[in-house]
Structure 1
Amino acid sequence: MTTTDHDADLRLTVLGCRAGMPEPGWPSSGYLVHAPDGAILLDCGPGVAAKAAARAAELSAVFISHMHTDHCLDLLILGKALALRGLDADDTTAPETRIPLYVPPGAATTLRRFNELFPLGTDGPGAHPTDHVFRDVFDVVEYEPLRPIRAAGATVLPVPMAHRQPCCGFRVTTPHGTLAYTGDTGPGSAFEPLVAGVDLLVAEATLDQPDRTRHGHLCAAEAGQLAARFGARALLLTHWAYTDRAWIDAQVERAREHYRGRIDVAVPDHTFHVDTDTQEH
């Protein structure tokens, strides 16, 4: 499921950016990276599946930062939607090409068990592809932190982050630009391999103030400090705890106190060009 008719630049489309559970018009985490040879989906939280399935023809790989529900719950829905594409009601043929799905260590078993909880029939999983999406639709691979992965003409580097669940951010490098996505993280992460010199830093700005717990989240001021410290060319703030525009604007101002580069705000269905100042609506 790969297409090569992509623009020369590196782009990122926000499918969802809400921290925790979604609200109307604001799905949870999901970001589509338009790479040279296809699209890479970073995370697949609630509300993201329908948007990602609509782009099935270009979807080349999926990467999951961690196994909190706001980052992975729609994987099963996406898999079932892809399994049903082009099938007749009585057709039980699995898709010819599986989509690589890169997940944290230990997640493959969790996902298979999740699928088994929702079989098509009453007597448990059968032969239909929707009963085995993590076998027949996705090629599930547990990634190794700091080991690069090639996907869609890009190199994706999983970098460990400090979070309550094991979590990796992703650095995506193409011939046309580099972006970093933090996933969920506290300020104690070793950020240099992820962020240093990137063209676009997609950083969570979940909190009003720094996290004093061990949960592992950033506030907007820390996102700005991170972009400044490691020389990111532009900053995209995301993972909103609230979607009120005044609250979001206040977070942008907090980040701007520390970072003088371009700052954008993640909004569902907006596309950001990594190496230009152009934004599509």
Structure 2
Amino acid sequence: MEKFELDILGCGSATPTTLHNPSSQVLNVREKLFMIDCGEGTQLQFRRSKLRFGRLNYIFISHLHGDHCFGLIGLISTLALLGRTGDLTIFSVAGLEDVLRTEIDFFCRDNPFRVKVETFDPKRSEVIYDDRSVSVKTIPLLHRVPCGGFLFQEKQKEAHLLPEMIKFYNVPIRELARIKQGADYITEDGVLIANNRLTKPAEPARSYAYCSDTAYNENIIPIIEGVDLLYHEATFADVDAMRAKQTGHSTAVQAAQIAKMAHVKKLMLGHFSARYVDNQILLDEASKIFPNTILANEGLREKL
């Protein structure tokens, strides 16, 4: 099975700690790397995770709080030092390009590659990226500033041919493409050979949803319904639910409620407040509602 795996580079919230880095992660889809948020220190975490800078072509920024984008200019500078020449595309809410362009013009005036910023509307759910392997759709989130999450949906692969059956029925090469796409085969004698005798189904397409930063928001449930993995912020424990509401964040309990209602397969908690020395309290609270819950942590590589 081809790669569809998530590397956590940072899962802390705004206040720096020695326990967690600011928000950033990388999704590897069939050896294409997609970065989601880029907090301070992301490039160091990227190297520690032994990811390849040359495979990173797309970055998705959820919103313009520093703990989600302060690492961009450092990463861009490093990519230039490494000799990058290909375009780097950043998807973001409005406002990033004005700030980033000033930084690039000052610190990276001889940048050998083009940085393109594509703006999305955080109030709408729409496809902002699409290729042969995956599509990316935005998820409107509730925060103190415009903010959007991201749904990564792998494209369903064609069925696998059964070589022994293809040979047995003497299927011509010209028919193979149609059969892989689901067509039956009719022999020269007019006998219909059902597609399921010639193929076996491909592995199910996988999906991943990133929802940070956000207050409790049931409106996202239809968008993330049934995803294989949901990363949902859990900045606060239930005792601090009022603080979560005031700051536009979620508790671990609320994240678990969303996961349960959306029938996701697995929940990963992240964006932890610096006030908690041990995030086990968040895991314990969420697991009571949604048992298949795990904690994000720097260096974690989750295979879907």
Bin the TM-score by the shorter chain: 0.7 to 0.9
SS at 1:190 equivalent: helix
Q: RMSD between aligned alpha carbons?
A: 2.2
Q: 2:229 aligns with which of 191, 200, 211?
A: 200
Between stretches 98-107 and 176-185, larger displacement belongs to 98-107
How many residue pairs get matched? 246
Task: Tell me how far 1:244 sits from its aligned partner.
Answer: 5.5
Instruction: Indicate if the aligned counterparts of 2:5 and 2:303 stay in contact, CA closer than 8 A.
Output: yes
8 Å contact from structure 1 (residues 198, 233) kept in 2: yes
Q: Does 1:231 align with 2:263?
A: yes
Task: Please point out which of 32, 38, 44 is paired with 2:38.
Answer: 44
Letter in 2 for 1:231: H
CA apart distance, 1:41: 0.3
1:103-156 deviation digits (Å, cap 9, x = unpaired): 11232112213434x436xxxxx4x118xxxxx442211124422122582111
CA contact (8 A) 2:214 2:250 kept: yes
Q: Which runs of 4+ in 1 moved over 6 A?
A: none
Q: For residue 17 of structure 1, what is the aligned residue in structure 2?
A: 11
Match of 2:115 among 132, 138, 143: 138
Q: Is the 8 A contact 2:222 2:262 kept in 1?
A: no
Q: Which amino acid aligns with 1:201?
A: L
CA distance in 1, matches of 2:141, 2:56: 26
Match of 1:65 among 59, 62, 67: 62
CA contact (8 A) 1:211 1:218 kept: no
TM-score, normalised to structure 1's length? 0.80
- Paired with 1:119 and 1:242, the residues of 2 have a C-alpha distance of 31
Counterparts of 1:210-221 in structure 2, within 5 Å, are 210-211=241-242, 213-221=245-253
Rg larger in 1 or in 2? Answer: 2
In structure 1, what is the Cα distance between the partners aligned to 2:19 and 2:80? 26
| Residue in structure 2 matched with residue 222 of structure 1 by the alignment | 254
Show the counterpart of 2:53.
Answer: 56
Q: 1:215 to 1:244 in 2, by over 3 A?
A: closer
Q: Which runs of 5+ in 2 are unaligned?
A: 156-204
Closer/same/farther in 2, CA of residues 129 and 28 from structure 1, 3 Å limit: same
- Of residues 193-202 and 69-78 in structure 1, the stretch that sits farther from structure 2 once superposed is 193-202
- Give SS of 1:43's match: strand
Task: Report the Cα offset of residue 159 of structure 1.
Answer: 1.2
Q: Is the 8 A contact 1:192 1:230 kept in 2?
A: yes
Judge conservation of contact 2:62–2:93 (CA < 8 Å) in 1.
yes
Of 269, 273, 285, the match for 1:241: 273
Identical columns (%):
26
- Structure in which a larger fraction of residues adopt helix: 2
2:96 to 93, 107, 120: 107
CA distance in structure 1 between the aligned counterparts of 2:294 and 2:115, rounded to whole angstroms? 33
Between the aligned partners of 2:132 and 2:14, the Cα distance in structure 1 is 29
Match of 1:34 in 2: 28
Unaligned runs of 5+ in 1: 1-6, 87-94, 121-125, 131-135, 275-281
Q: Tell me, yes or no, if the aligned pair for 1:208 and 1:219 is still in contact at 8 Å.
A: yes
For 1:119, the aligned partner's letter is: F
